[in-house]
Copies of this chain bind each other. A is one copy, B any other.
């Protein structure tokens, strides 16, 4: 067993915190890989999945249908900075996978300032004991700036309320993706 990469590790972080009847969020559904992963772990729960791109929403819908889990997922073609309008009560997990939609134009990439705002909103929408995962791509065009923004906003969170881990894959070539995992603390530390 190995962790392989930041996306795979983000799944592990989420699995450790999510129960089958939870509500969870995919903030950047892209081609639907994370959305499908979430739908497969909340077998009695619900997934809210967002993407601003109609192509991403269509690709995700097709993937969910293929795996027979569409009924557990609400797809929203929406800017991820507007999460708060849809997430009415605290959720167990919110996943971000930044960068551009694989297979589509790179002009559709997430933008540093927008991503910062969305992540800042997300950390306040998870319950105590819940987690926000952010996969960042410092090697992409504009990705270094975006990564910098994510590290700045999560690194500034209150130590009393959140635990923030950054995981780098040190010996991989070509600026590999990294993971930021924000845990909302429970109990007397919260």
Binding site for B on A (CB under 8 A): 1-4, 129, 151, 154-159, 162-173, 180, 183, 185-186, 189
Q: Are B155 and A164 in contact (CB under 8 A)?
A: no
Complex: how many Å from CA A50 to CA B165?
A: 30
Nearest CB in chain B: distance from A168 CB, A:
5
Q: Are B185 and A173 in contact (CB under 8 A)?
A: no
For A185, the chain B residues whose CB sits under 8 A away are 2
Kindly report which residue of chain B lies nearest to residue A165, judged by CB atoms. B167
Q: Are A3 and B165 in contact (CB under 8 A)?
A: yes
Complex: how many Å from CA A1 to CA B4?
A: 25
Q: Are B183 and A171 in contact (CB under 8 A)?
A: no
For A158, the chain B residues whose CB sits under 8 A away are 171
Complex: how many Å from CA A185 to CA B163?
A: 29
Complex: how many Å from CA A185 to CA B171?
A: 13
Q: Are A171 and B163 in contact (CB under 8 A)?
A: yes
Q: Are B170 and A155 in contact (CB under 8 A)?
A: yes
With A2-B185, A183-B2 given, is the CB distance from A168 to B171 under 8 Å? no
Kindly report which residue of chain B lies nearest to residue A190, judged by CB atoms. B2
Instruction: Give the contacting residue for A162; candidates B156, B159, B171, B180; CB below 8 A.
Output: B171
Nearest CB in chain B: distance from A161 CB, A:
9
Q: Are A168 and B166 in contact (CB under 8 A)?
A: yes
For A159, the chain B residues whose CB sits under 8 A away are 171-173
Complex: how many Å from CA A155 to CA B163?
A: 25
Q: Are A165 and B169 in contact (CB under 8 A)?
A: yes
Kindly report which residue of chain B lies nearest to residue A169, judged by CB atoms. B165
Nearest CB in chain B: distance from A74 CB, A:
29
For A2, the chain B residues whose CB sits under 8 A away are 163, 183, 185-186, 189
Instruction: Give the contacting residue for A171; candidates B1, B155, B170; CB below 8 A.
Output: B155
